[in-house]
Amino acid sequence: MNIAMIGSSYVGLVSGACLADFGHRVVCVDKDQAKIEALRQGRIPIYEPGLDQVVADNVKAGRLSFTGDLKEGVAQADVIFVAVGTPSRRGDGHADMSFVEAAARELAEVVRPETVIVIKSTVPVGTSDKVEHILLTHNPTLEVSVASNPEFLREGSAIADFKRPDRIIVGVNDERGRAALSEVYRPLYLNRSPVLFTSRRTAELTKYAANAFLAMKVTFINEIADLCEKAGADVQDVARGIGLDNRIGAKFLHAGPGYGGSCFPKDTTALIRIAQDFESPMRLIEATVAVNETRRRAMSRKIAAAVGGDLRDRTVALLGVTFKPNTDDIREAPALAIVQALQDAGAQIRLYDPAGMDAARTAITGVTFGNSPYEIAEGADVLVIVTEWEEFRALDFKTLKQVMKSPCLVDLRNVYRREDLARHGFRYFSIGRPDHDIPLSFIEAAE
């Protein structure tokens, strides 16, 4: 099939490259000429493991190309995906639809009359109807079919997620759209990935429901972690204990400093606004957002407690700034709120991240950046794991102990075990796990 991908940022580029890998001919379109030029020269503007290879292979095979010219990009297309951004609108938290609407207006002038247009961006319920309306208003001769096909890929494992998805959700309201998307995703039938066809509104809502549910699940285990700390229980055992119940499932039960990233914060807020517009409030998600918001800053109190309560003139070495490993993305990263709170409390901050340093340098001020965990640990009062990069899973504690002012680790991702750190002479604080043996008297008292 001939496919055009409008928008060549994260979702557009990964989807375009993977669809080319399935054997389709794909043209990725973007207004940013510098981005298109970079892609043509084989430079990938985002950090995503494996993406450079998939792009290079498919460009070489003649299946993947890039253009800044919309008309040229869609000239041959049977199916056009719209994968432009829908950021949070300043002020009210609604999804900003201006890029989607602009794309629809521009497409109306240049598409072939019977093209299938597929909205891949995360969009509020009713957007496909609106896009269809814009297309027909601007060009009444069109007989386009508009479909909704939200994307569920995760940063850091985007290629695998696209090629072996748990499911594909397709919202269509005609046979033409259904047939075209069946053809697009036919290579996945071999993997037995279910392709669920439904209405456009249902598909649009499914994306928000999935992200909101996962954000809620993470927030739930985070609150259980807080309770574990007070009650002397172990959140990792609780997570395992509940996760083995098939109805709950083991994933997304890893307690930490709160969720971040380009999707969960934006999509939860947008769902709250959508629900309010339909006068059907999502109170669980409202609570999720509020709890997550306070949690990130609250992590600084944990760090303060580890150094005796007062952060003034203490040196805190932070490992990780990205919102999760295997990405250079720091959008809504817990680290940003933690840095701010630590600075407000008077701490000196040192920071190292394997991939997020460029982004951090532009977003964070008043911090000293280093090139390794050991460099930033030098003279530090406390070392804090904020993001669970592989590189932080086997730290050399002997060296760290020698260079640090005082051997103390705050592990906000529960990468280590207290016993192991105690062996190295470190004081150790983690999330939702007893920082000390539970005294027998406590157990007896509880009974």
Q: For ligand UDX, which stretch binds (CB under 6 A), given 169-177, 198-206, 251-259, 346-354? A: 251-259
Binding mask 133-152 for ligand UDX (x = CB under 6 A): ------------------xx
Binding mask 210-229 for ligand UDX (x = CB under 6 A): -x--x---x-----------
Closest CB to ligand UDX among 74 and 153? 153
Find out whether 269 and 196 touch, Cβ atoms under 8 Å: no
Q: How far separated are the first and last CA of the chain, in Å rounded?
A: 67
- Shortest distance, CB of residue 278 to ligand UDX, whole angstroms? 23
Considering only 253, 285, 303, 409, the residue that binds ligand UDX (CB under 6 A) is: 253
Binding mask 259-278 for ligand UDX (x = CB under 6 A): xxx-xx--------------
Active site residue 263: yes
Alpha-carbon distances of 14 from 154, 161, 165, 286, rounded to whole Å: 11, 10, 13, 31
* Phi, psi values for residue 384, rounded to 5°: -125, 125
User: Rule CB under 6 A: which of 314-353 touch ligand UDX?
Assistant: 323-324
E strand spans, 43-156: 64-67, 79-82, 116-119, 145-148
How many Cβ atoms are within 10 Å of 64's Cβ, its own excluded?
A: 27
Question: Which residues are 409's β-sheet partners?
Answer: 383, 428
- Shortest distance, CB of residue 325 to ligand UDX, whole angstroms? 8
User: Rule CB under 6 A: which of 374-403 touch ligand UDX?
Assistant: none
What is d(CA 106, CA 228) in angstroms, rounded to the nearest whole number?
54
Find out whether 343 and 313 touch, Cβ atoms under 8 Å: no
256 is a contact residue toward ligand UDX (CB under 6 A) = yes
- Shortest distance, CB of residue 366 to ligand UDX, whole angstroms? 24
- Shortest distance, CB of residue 297 to ligand UDX, whole angstroms? 15
Regarding beta strands 408-411 and 427-429, do their DSSP bridges make them parallel or antiparallel, or are they unpaired?
A: parallel
Binding mask 152-171 for ligand UDX (x = CB under 6 A): xxxx----------------
User: Rule CB under 6 A: which of 37-56 touch ligand UDX?
Assistant: none
Q: How many CA atoms lie within 13 A of 147 on its CB side?
A: 29
- Shortest distance, CB of residue 416 to ligand UDX, whole angstroms? 17
What is d(CA 441, CA 327) in angstroms, rounded to the nearest whole number?
46
Closest CB to ligand UDX among 257 and 373? 257
Per the residue annotation, which of 18, 28, 228, 263 is the catalytic one? Answer: 263
The set of residues, in sequence order, having a beta carbon less than 8 Å from that of 386 and lying 6+ positions away, is: 257, 318, 319, 320, 321, 334, 335, 338, 412, 413
Give catalytic residues, as residue numbers.
Answer: 263
Binding site for ligand UDX (CB under 6 A): 151-155, 211, 214, 218, 252-254, 256, 259-261, 263-264, 323-324
